[in-house]
């Protein structure tokens, strides 16, 4: 991506975002100069109108002169406000474009983070904080852009005008406005602390709200509503208190800055009156006094806005430091090149979380296309952890070779093209059943729904495959959601499929039908089937039994003969004896 000056776009550079919006900034500059220089006409007209009124009362002017001044004042005001409208329109467009571009880059990088990284940070919390920081950055850039003209150019113009009328009095009047800037700088840390506390409280409230909505039925069934309500009220109270503190710091300070700046009015009233009486540094008429006073009041107002701008820019700086590590140019994703069927070879495979004992170790096996490898064992023995090793989210020990290539040497894109994964959570989205299966690819969803024995149920739905599944499949039963997620996995074939407990919510008859279709589908694939249901393990090529960190690889019959725990598990489900080998 190129910026307006044909320089490569760097998402981690604030200047790059300004360069991308060069056209909007050009129009803002032109209209901003016209508007702010036109504002200087206001004090001049106000002075002339005051003088004209005095002359009319004194009998030296007719009412027609006042009418001419008023019409000219209205015409100039309309032109100035038109320039203001154009400036504000393009400032808002500039800010919206910045916000959209930043969030697009942020989202693209967040969704490409590993599942483990998102779970460690908390995906919802990370997204909430990051989006809030982007909003603060965009707002700081907007305020900076608009105040360059509304404050910077206007202040210079007003200062020049004051010096033209009386440079000595102007110097006296300019003593206090800089004090407001110093005050704003001194208040930077309290404002930042209040803003940070507010964001943390907002994140906590969002998490509590999500928990309250997601687990409402559970809390009601187990009578925990009062405790849950107390936790939610605590989060809500924390949010309210921090929001009030943040708003107090942000809203109460600008009037104080304005009051500090306006202290110079005392000088104008004293020395300006002397000028009008002819005993001061300059000889003034009513028009000059009114123009000078009006000009300073406008300068003071702009000065207080500049102090407020400093606070906004400080918040933006803090937010930018937090999100900058995530602001990287997303890698352009080439189309997935799904490789052909390949052998899978595990050699001494072990895994342990950082600083922990091995979850399992010493796993070695070879699987050929068409093989289904069953993984089972007691609860919390590491079955799902073994399945996630194939996603290569964390370092493993030993070797995992697919088609002769080490898994850890593959790029994330190559892993996505090689390994299909179905986890515990179906991860369905609020779209049609067809969209959940096809994920934007071409094809017919019904054939994959048929493979998971879901086709007849979908046909019976009011809108068929266009029926909306709801967020996380909330409009479906647990078994339907599970089979829909499996249909999506089968609709995107990969040489290696890792299926984590795909039958846990199915009745026996449905499981039989789905397993038969899976066997036919997997004739040219390696399937890693993780399950605590062993009805069909007698039909698969190899079984991995995991217990207490140890792994045993063998056939179903041999495991039944050599491992009592496996045999007992199988018999408890099937209710029958096992053929001895």
- State pLDDT tens for residues 294-313: 888 877 777 766 656 666 77
Residue 5: pLDDT above 70?
no
Assess if residue 581 is contained within a domain.
Answer: no
Q: Are strands 397-402 and 344-351 parallel, antiparallel or unpaired?
A: antiparallel
Judge whether 482 lies within some domain.
Answer: yes
Q: Report the relative pairing of strands 496-500 and 419-422 from DSSP bridges.
A: parallel
pLDDT of res. 149: 67
What does the pLDDT read at residue 542?
95
Token pair belonging to 537:
């393990």
Chain centroid, CA 91 distance in Å:
23
Task: Return the structure tokens found at 67.
Answer: 């009418």
Domain identity same for 497 and 378? yes
- pLDDT, one tens digit per residue, over 559-570 is 999 999 999 989
Domain that holds residue 297: 14-326
Do 124 and 132 touch, CB atoms closer than 8 A? no
Lowest mean pLDDT among 1-5, 415-419, 462-466: 1-5
The verdict on residue 5 lying in a domain is no
**Total structural domains within the chain:** 2
Asked if pLDDT for residue 332 goes beyond 80, the answer is no
Q: Is residue 338 part of a domain?
A: no
Question: pLDDT tens digits, residue range 496-553?
Answer: 999 999 988 888 899 999 999 999 999 999 999 999 889 999 999 999 999 988 999 9
Same domain, 506 and 455: yes
Same domain, 460 and 486: yes
User: Are 190 and 304 in a shared domain?
Assistant: yes
Per-residue pLDDT at 258 exceeds 60: yes
In a domain, 440, yes or no: yes
Say if residue 286 is in the same domain as residue 363: no
Q: Within this chain, do residues 348 and 322 fall inside the same structural domain, yes or no?
A: no
Q: Is the pTM of this model over 0.75?
A: no
The H or E element containing residue 507 is: none
Q: Which of 326, 355, 387 is a domain's end point? A: 326
Residues 355 and 296 in one domain: no
Identify the domain boundary among 326, 354, 380: 326
Does residue 375 or residue 293 have the better pLDDT? 375
Band the pLDDT of 437: cuts 50, 70, 90: very high
Are both 91 and 148 inside the same structural domain? yes
Distance, in Å, from the CA atom of 529 to the CA atom of 526, rounded to the nearest integer, reads 10
CATH number at residue 360: 3.40.50.300
d(C-alpha 11, C-alpha 32), whole Å:
27
Residue 106: pLDDT above 50?
Answer: yes
The reply to whether 164 and 232 lie within a common domain is: yes
CATH number reported for the structural domain that contains residue 20 in this entry: 1.20.1560.10
pLDDT tens digits for 199-218? Answer: 788 878 877 887 777 777 77
Three-class DSSP category at 166 = coil
Which helix H or strand E contains 405, and what residues bound it? strand 405-406
Q: Is residue 336 part of a domain?
A: no
Residue 339 within any structural domain of the chain:
no
Q: What is the mean pLDDT of residues 26-40?
A: 81
Where b means 16+ CB within 10 Å and e means fewer, 423-432 reads beebebeeeb
Q: Are residues 212 and 310 in the same domain?
A: yes
> What separation, in Å, do the N-terminal and C-terminal C-alpha atoms of the chain show?
66
Residues 322 and 356 in one domain: no
Strands laid side by side in the 526-530 sheet? 419-422, 496-500, 526-530, 372-376, 542-547, 550-554
The verdict on residue 579 lying in a domain is no
Q: Is the pLDDT score of 581 beyond 60?
A: no
Is there a single domain that holds both residue 277 and residue 403?
no
503-516: pLDDT as tens digits: 888 888 999 999 99
Three-class DSSP category at 400: strand
* Residues whose CB falls within 8 Å of the CB of residue 114, separated by 6 or more in sequence, listed in order: 391, 393, 394
């Amino acid at each position: 991506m190129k910026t307006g000056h044909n320089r490569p776009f760097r998402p981690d550079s604030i200047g790059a975002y300004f360069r991308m919006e060069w056209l909007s900034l050009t129009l803002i500059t032109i209209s901003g100069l016209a508007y702010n220089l036109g504002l200087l006409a206001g004090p001049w007209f106000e002075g002339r109108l005051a003088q004209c009124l005095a002359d009319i009362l004194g009998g030296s002017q007719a009412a027609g002169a006042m009418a001419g001044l008023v019409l000219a004042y209205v015409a100039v005001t309309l032109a100035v406000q038109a320039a203001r409208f154009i400036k504000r329109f393009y400032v808002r467009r500039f800010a919206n474009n910045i916000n959209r571009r930043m969030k697009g880059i942020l989202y693209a990088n967040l969704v490409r983070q590993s599942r483990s990284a998102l779970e460690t940070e908390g995906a919802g919390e990370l997204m909430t904080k990051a989006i809030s920081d982007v909003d603060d950055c965009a707002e700081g850039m907007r305020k900076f852009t608009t105040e360059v003209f509304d404050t910077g150019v206007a202040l210079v113009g007003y200062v020049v005008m004051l010096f033209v009328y009386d440079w000595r009095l102007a110097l006296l009047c300019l003593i206090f406005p800089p004090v407001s800037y110093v005050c704003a700088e001194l208040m930077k840390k309290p404002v930042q602390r209040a803003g940070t506390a507010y964001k943390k409280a907002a994140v906590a409230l969002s998490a509590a709200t999500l928990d309250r909505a997601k687990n409402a039925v559970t809390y009601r069934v187990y009578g925990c509503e009062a405790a849950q309500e107390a936790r939610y009220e605590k989060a809500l109270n924390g949010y309210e208190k921090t929001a009030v503190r943040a708003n107090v710091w942000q809203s109460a300070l600008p009037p104080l800055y304005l009051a500090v700046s306006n202290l110079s009015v005392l000088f104008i009233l004293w020395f300006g009156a002397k000028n009008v009486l002819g005993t001061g540094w300059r000889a003034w008429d009513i028009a000059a006094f009114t123009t000078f006073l009006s000009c300073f009041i406008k300068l003071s107002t702009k000065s207080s806005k500049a102090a407020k701008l400093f606070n906004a820019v400080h918040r933006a700086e803090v937010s930018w430091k937090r999100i900058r590590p995530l602001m990287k140019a997303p890698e352009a994703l080439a189309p997935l090149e799904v490789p052909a069927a390949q052998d899978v070879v595990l050699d001494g495979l072990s895994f342990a979380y950082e600083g922990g004992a091995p979850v399992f170790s010493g796993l070695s096996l070879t699987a050929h296309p068409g093989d289904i490898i069953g993984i089972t064992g007691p609860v919390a023995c590491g079955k799902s952890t073994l399945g996630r090793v194939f996603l290569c989210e964390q370092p493993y020990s030993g070797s995992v070779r697919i088609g002769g290539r080490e898994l850890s040497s593959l790029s994330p894109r190559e892993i996505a093209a090689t390994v299909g994964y179905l986890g515990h959570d179906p991860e369905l989205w609020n779209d049609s059943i067809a969209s959940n299966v096809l994920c934007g690819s071409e094809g017919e969803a019904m054939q994959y729904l048929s493979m998971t024995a879901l086709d007849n149920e979908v046909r019976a739905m009011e809108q068929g495959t266009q029926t909306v599944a709801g967020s996380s499949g909330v409009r479906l039963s647990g078994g339907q959601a599970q089979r829909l997620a499996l249909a999506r996995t089968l609709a995107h074939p990969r040489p290696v499929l890792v299926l984590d407990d795909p039958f846990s919510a199915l009745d026996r008859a449905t499981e039989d039908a789905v397993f038969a279709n899976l066997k036919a589908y997997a004739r040219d694939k390696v399937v890693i089937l993780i399950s605590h249901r062993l009805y069909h393990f007698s039909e698969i090529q190899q079984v991995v039994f995991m217990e207490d960190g140890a792994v045993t690889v063998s056939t179903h019959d041999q495991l039944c003969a050599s491992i009592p725990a496996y045999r007992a598990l199988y018999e408890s489900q099937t209710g029958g004896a096992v053929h001895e080998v």
